[in-house]
Structure 1
């Protein structure tokens, strides 16, 4: 089967291919009959092999040229050969079946196509030798012209096949690039989930260790909270890993703005006094932007729990007509040296995520402690 027919194309492309094949069939019939009549054929229905039935046969073969290119080529050559044996040639051996040659030349069997073409040219040159004594120029024009035409047709078929292969490689490369982007996104989500979970669970474990002997009930409550956070994180990670194991185009449940309240509640359960102030209407925020806002808050509070030694944090999310502004301020001292949190994969990932949406993110010490501020425009965040 032809390489042309093995490719799975959209319905619109297949329809266009059928239209092209039909047009080539009609064109072959019309031109073949016209050239035959112009060459002196008295009746298109006369002779051992009439012109019109032969033209219809050649045209009909082109309707299946993509499925059986070599069969179409061989049957076309046989029909032309039979016509030349019983009738005065209508003006050539190659041009009436150029479409069959072109289609076959675009397949991996192009060497066979070239060999068949050369054999046909040699036979036509020998068959036309009677013209040499009468008109050498006509003989040379005929033989050389048909040779050049065959070379051009085979070359065009090779170029067309190469363009198809190049298109397939581009599609494959594009698919790999999209898969890599999706896996990078999943890796960022895994980092965010693991970092937050470790921070929250670590705080609860510390509380349980400190109160295990003096207040067993409080220690048990802290352990239960840590277990709840761990279970939710494991569910999220299972969904994310499933994407990596299966198709890169799979979907993963994404956090949204409605999840901010539950996340802040988890942070409060660690003993951190967190206030959440949401201003404006979040309903118009696109999903991509909503995930970015959630992850900024998550990363900022996770850093607060892990590094700053803060006791309070204020989260402000302002929904504006053209953007969403996020500000997370705590009363911590940043790193142990007081110089602020060192920017690692978390903040770097947040900065890249926000920048990809056309926004900005800053993080650094402020007079009251440490602040993370981000602005995400809505216009550039449509999914």
Structure 2
């Protein structure tokens, strides 16, 4: 709305100026605001109209208005066009053209004074004496020209300030990007120093346990721990690469095609996991499938932490406009013990789902179990 009003004002202003110059020109030659002319009214109206049209188009070029103003002043002492022409000369003309304009204006003033001096009556008295010519030159030439130069200088200062503000904004954005890059690198170093080191130790101990296991079951458990640890290290390397990169371009990310492998990992840890698919499966955008995978992954992680080996159902429903993913586990077993967690898993998961336009609901069930339900747009 603001832009529309501003555009309307920009279109109306030139013609309003032209109308004002036309009316003032008529007042000038009628004697109410200048020297009365004895020419027929139609001729005066045409001269005033020409001044008004030239003033309305002066934004494109001040030279037509300059020519009209010079003729009108020398012929009829019609001053409004000359005033507007001097103002636009100050705002638009370059230094060389300004000197040319000033020389032409002085010549026109001198010519008008000479014509008025040879005339008779009131015109000779008002515009034909040397003192009045100088006075009218200051009013019609110098003052509007100075105002135009001041307006142009002010515009240039404002433009320079705007450009400086844009430059400062660009520098601020650049500094913020640099700060983010440095923070990402710091986080990557800390994660490598703390997490990667300890996971590597876990994998080494699991390998040693597998080699020296007293029985086959222990060896299988050690092999499983080592495999999970090595996969965690691989995922951690991907995350560290993203954090170190100034323009994070992710490598291959898991999708719904990898869901069975994720469920098998939980089954290998002793949890009964049942998968249920409903609806006709169809390809979705990678970000939607990745979000669905992360929902199941985080929900199963919470089952491992807080519900022990509780039986878990994973449902994937393909609906016309959305993909519905549900992870529901039965009540926790007596042997289950809470493992430490960050407390931000479901919060981050909800943000991930909402970023793609979906909804996440998570909470306890009436039977004592827990349910995570995500509805993800399928578009």
TM-score normalized by structure 2? 0.55
The 8 Å contact of residues 363 and 373 in structure 1, kept in 2 or not, is answered as yes
Distance 2:345 2:218 in 1: 30
Determine the structure 1 residue equivalent to 2:154.
155
2:202 and 2:229 in contact (8 A); partners too: no
Residue 35 (structure 1) aligns with: 66
Post-superposition offset of 1:287: 2.9
Whether the aligned pair in 1 keeps the contact of 2:274 and 2:312 (CA below 8 Å) is yes
1:216-256 deviation line (CA, Å, top 9, x unaligned): x3333333333333333333332322232222453343321
Question: What's 1:242 paired with?
Answer: 241
Structure-2 separation of matches of 1:231 and 1:284: 30
Alignment partner, residue 77 of structure 1? 95
Counterpart CA distance in 2 for 1:147 and 1:255 is 71
Q: 1:91, CA displacement in angstroms?
A: 8.5
Aligned equivalents of 2:149, 2:265: Cα separation in 1: 76
Conserved? CA contact 1:304–1:332, under 8 Å: no
Conservation of the 8 A alpha-carbon contact between 2:271 and 2:312 = yes
- What does the per-residue CA deviation read over 1:115-135, in whole Å, with 9 as the maximum and x for residues that have no partner? xxxxxxxxxxxxxxx975524
The alpha-carbon distance between structure 1 residues 202 and 352, as it changes in their structure 2 partners (threshold 3 A), is farther
Q: Secondary structure at the match of 1:283?
A: coil
> 1:85-137: per-residue Cα shift (whole Å, max 9, x none)?
7x666889xxxxxxxxxxxxxxxxxxxxxxxxxxxxxxxxxxxxx97552414
Structure 2 equivalent of residue 15 of structure 1: none
Q: Taking structure 1 as reference, are residues 211 and 331 closer, same or farther at Cα in structure 2, changes over 3 Å only?
A: farther
Q: Counterpart in 1 of 2:258? A: 259
Q: Which residue is 1:277 aligned to? A: 276
The 5 Å alignment of 1:116-155 reads 133-155=132-154
Structure 1 residue 329: deviation in Å? Answer: 2.2
Q: Distance between the aligned counterparts of 1:232 and 1:163, measured in 2?
A: 53
Q: Does structure 2 retain, via aligned residues, the 8 Å contact 1:326–1:374? A: yes
Mapped partners of 2:255, 2:362: distance in 1: 22
Are the structure 2 counterparts of residues 335 and 253 from structure 1 closer, same or farther at C-alpha, using a change threshold of 3 Å? Answer: farther
In the TM superposition, residue 346 of structure 1 has moved relative to its aligned partner by 0.6
The corresponding residue for 1:351 is 350
**Larger mean Cα displacement after TM superposition, 255-264 or 282-291:** 282-291
Assess if the C-alpha contact under 8 Å between 1:272 and 1:310 holds in 2: yes
Deviation at 1:284, TM superposition (A): 4.6
**Do the aligned residues in 2 keep the contact of 1:240 with 1:252 (CA within 8 Å)?**
no
| Structure 2: distance between partners of 1:303 and 1:248 | 32
Aligned pair count? 272
CA contact (8 A) 1:39 1:90 kept: no
Helix, strand or coil: the match of 2:254?
A: coil
Q: Deviations over 1:159-213 (max 9, x none)?
A: 3333444455666777859x97xx99xx9xxx9xx99xx99x989x899979965
- Unaligned runs of 5+ residues in structure 2 are 1-57, 72-91, 110-128
Residue of structure 2 in register with 1:294 after alignment: 293
Q: Is contact 2:210–2:223 with CA below 8 Å preserved after alignment?
A: no
Distance 1:172 1:360, change over 3 A: farther
Contact 1:285 1:378 survives alignment (8 Å): no
Higher relative contact order (CA 8 A, sep 6+): 1
> Aligned to 1:251, what secondary structure does the other structure show?
coil
Cα separation, partners in 2 of 1:162 and 1:300, compared to 1, 3 Å: same
> In structure 2, what is the Cα distance between the partners aligned to 1:243 and 1:131?
82
1:197-208 alignment, distance < 5 Å:
none
List per-residue Cα deviations over 1:298-352 (Å, max 9, x = no partner). Answer: 1111111122112432211111112222222223428999999999111221123
Query: In the TM superposition, what are the counterparts of 1:1-383 in structure 2 within 5 Å?
Result: 31-32=62-63, 35-36=66-67, 39=70, 76-78=94-96, 80-81=98-99, 133-167=132-166, 213-215=213-215, 217-333=216-332, 344-356=343-355, 357-367=357-367, 369-378=368-377
Structure 1 portions without partners, runs of 5+: 1-26, 41-61, 63-72, 93-129
Q: Which SS does the other structure have where 1:360 is aligned?
A: strand
**What is residue 101 of structure 1 aligned with on the other side?**
none
Contact 2:105 2:141 survives alignment (8 Å):
no
Secondary structure of 2:282's counterpart equals helix
Q: CA RMSD in A?
A: 4.9
